[in-house]
Structure formats: C-alpha cells, structure tokens
Amino acid sequence: MSVHPIEYRYFTSEMKQVFTEENKLQKWLDVEAALARAHAALGDIPKEAAEEISKKASLKYVKLERVKELEEEIHHDVMAMVQALSEVCEGDAGKYVHLGATSYDIVDTAWALILRDAIEIISSKLVSIKNVLLDLASKHKETICIGRTHGQHAVPFTYGMKFAIWASEINRHLERIREGKKRILVGKMSGAVGTMASFGKKGFDIQKTVMQELQIREAEITNQIVQRDVYAEIIFLNALVAATLTKIAKEIRNLQRTEIGEIFEPFTKKQVGSSTMAQKRNPHRSERVCGISRVIIAYTIPTLENAALIEHERDLTNSSNERIIFPESFILLDYILTEMISILKGLEFNYQNIQKNLELEGGLYMSENIMLKLVEKGLGRQEAHETLRQIAIKCRQENIPLKKAILEHPKLRPIVNEKELDNWLDPKQYIGTAVEQVEKIVNKLKN
C-alpha cells in the first residue's frame, strides 16, 4: 500500500526510477565491480575474479529480496549487499568483493552515479522550460501590459519581457548546474577514515582507477565520507529552481485573479474548479507548484546541518535523512518542472482584459513619461513631478482621466496641446528598449 504522495501522485516515472531501491542496489553493485576491476588492473586480485564479480554485480544475480533478508539478520545494508554478491560469485571470486573498502566508499560513490542521472533529467527539463519561455517571449515581445510594482500600477511593460526575464533566470540555473557538477559528482575510495590505509601504497591508484571506470571525478580529500557541503550545493540548486518556479506560478496565480484576469493556466472542458461553486476556475496547478516548492526549499536546512558532520570523522546522522532528502528533492522538483512546462505551453491570454487594465486609471500610469516631456517644455523636474502628483490625487478624487485634468490645469494648459498629449499617453511610445531586450535574450539563449 502506498503512503507517500511521491509514490502515487507527485512524480514522473523517469525520475522515480532513478531513486528506486533496485536502482540504488545496482549502482552499489556497479561500484563494487569497478573496485574489483581496479584491483585486478593493479595486480591485487586475479583478473578472472574481477571478471566474475563484474558479471555477477547485477540485479539478474543479486536480488533485492535476498539483500533485504540478509539486512534483517545483520542490520547493515551495505554488508548485506556485499554478502549477497559474494555468495553468487563462483570459485573464490567472492572473497575479493569489497576488498579494502568501507561502506561509504560504495554509498557515496554510488550517490554520484545516481545524482548524475537525476541532474541530467532536471537539466533536460530546464532546457525545455527555457525554450517554452523564449517562445512566449518572442511571441509576446510587443504585447503591452501594465507594469506593477508594490502591487500597484507602474508604467507600461510587455509580456515578452516578463517571459524573457524568467528564461534568463532558468538559464542561470543551467549554468550553475553545469559549473557545480565538477564538485557534486565525485566519488571516493579511501577507506575507514580517508587515509587509504586499507589499500596500502596503491590508494591513489585504486581511487583514480575506480573513478575513471565510473566516469566521475575523485573527491579531493575525504574522511570516511564525501564532505556534505558537496550535497548541500545540489540541494540548494534544487531549491533555487523551485524558488523560480514559485515566482512564475505565483505571477500566473495573481494575473488570473478575477479582478485582473489577464492570463490563465489551462483548463480542460470537463475540469471542475470547485465542488460547490460551479463558476470557479482555480489556478490549482500553479498553486500546487508553489506548495511543493516549499518542501524542496525546506530541505536546505537539514543539508546544512549534515555539512557540519557533527562528530569527528563522521557519524550516521546524515545517512537517514539523506535517504529522504535526495529522492524527494529531485522527484518533487522534476514533477513541478513538468507541471510548469505544461502550464506555460497551455497559457491562455485575455487581451481584452490586458487592454482594460491599461486603461483602468485613466492614463495615470503614463505620469512618468509626461513628467519627462514637461521637463523638455521647460519645467523643472521636481516642479513637474509635484504638479502631476497633485493632478493624480485630483483624478482619483473626482474620477476623471489624466488627459482631462492636464488640459484643464492652469499651469499646464498653456504649454501642452491635445495632440501631443495623446502621443504622450500612448503606451506604445513608452516601452523603451523592451522589444530589443527580448530579442537580445531570445537570440542569446535559444537552443
């Protein structure tokens, strides 16, 4: 019976497979096989033994059920795997399994293999969402909307810039991941406290050969484990991506508000918004993204505590929570990335409401442009600002448009004519380099 929602609700099969017990066991076996081949290459064990260990280091021979059965008896998961592998090896090959290694030589090196696959999936999804955002940016580079700061109308903006800003942020995450992999995807083969004593004078060669076999980097120096700042970095990167997805999802939620109604997440013909209010069209998918992001972000706290290592050359306080943190962080992040890609691809625009909101305050959002134009007419900047501030108060109190208030103002009437004022009030004339900025980002980032 399933208990956790990542088992039956918040997952994709692709990422879930990366963190199954079977895949983790196979990665452990892959490390054991690489260790055996390294020993054989350096003349420590017979080549035939290494070949046998490599052949049997597979779920075809080492069954998860048998490993669990052994773990129930000995209360040590890695040693249970070692015994299960040893007992299926023919001849005397079994006695060379795990030679010189400590448990976390296997576990942490296997984590690098698992995280490599997980990071590849996340990176692929980030590329997808970036490209969707770039398409939206290009399509809407001239779609003018009201810009908002502090929840209030500011000056004209474009939807193209909104999407381009998000795409640029996603691209920074990709850059962070690419740069961080050299630190994150590392393994070790250095023994009980990191001295490599169990490998004699061949410690450096053993570690180098194993990591070359597995195509990952060597950790520079360790005690019993890879230092946990390494894993804190990838969990923080996941949290940064989740924060960006929250930013996007929250913006969609706010813009879908009844009072704004400019864009909407997809809504199918048979979809139900509320069990009692039949008219509701709730942005539930965007809300889900925001909710799950909180969990992903929260995992930065235990990973920071893990980085402290607590006692000497290590204790086990990191082990138990990492079994939770790593799978959940990646499975949940992959899920909300997939959700957001779908949301953005199906985003609906209400152009009538976009225009209505531009006109909502009778042109007040063009006050900055008019202030600058009045300066060109000879007014001081502060004088023009104060005059328009007072006019804005009058417009709101008397519910009149800005144009009317300006044309009736005794100080401005002599220096402003209606034709030029209409031009000043046109939002198309006050979006600066917005279109060019979008084009620049699209040309730079489009794959």
Task: Just list the catalytic residues.
Answer: 150, 274
β partners of residue 145: 157
C-alpha to C-alpha distance for 135 and 138, rounded to whole angstroms = 5
Three-state secondary structure of 331-385: HHHHHHHHHHHHHHHCCEECHHHHHHHHCCCCCHHHHHHHHHHHHHCCCCHHHHH
User: Burial letters for 5-17: b for 16+ Cβ neighbours within 10 Å, e otherwise?
Assistant: ebeeebbeeebbe
Other Cβ atoms closer than 10 A to 253: 18
Q: What residues contact residue 26 under an 8 Å CB cut-off, 6+ apart?
A: 58, 59
Kindly state the tokens that stand for 403.
């144009």
The conformation of residue 219, written as its DSSP 8-state character, comes to P
C-alpha to C-alpha distance for 121 and 183, rounded to whole angstroms = 18
User: Burial letters for 170-188: b for 16+ Cβ neighbours within 10 Å, e otherwise?
Assistant: bbebbebbeebbeebbbbb
C-alpha to C-alpha distance for 447 and 443, rounded to whole angstroms = 9
Nearest in space to 190 (alpha carbons), one of 286, 101, 82, 271: 101
Angle of the 317-345 helix axis to the 284-298 helix axis, nearest 10: 160
Kindly state the tokens that stand for 169.
């942020």
Return contacts of 43-47, CB within 8 angstroms, 24+ apart: 44/99, 44/202, 45/96, 45/99, 46/96
CB-side neighbour CA atoms (13 Å) of 357: 25
C-alpha to C-alpha distance for 164 and 140, rounded to whole angstroms = 10
C-alpha to C-alpha distance for 66 and 81, rounded to whole angstroms = 9
Residue 19 contacts residue 118 (beta carbons within 8 Å): yes
Given its phi and psi angles, is residue 257 left (phi above 0), alpha (psi -120 to 50 degrees) or beta? beta
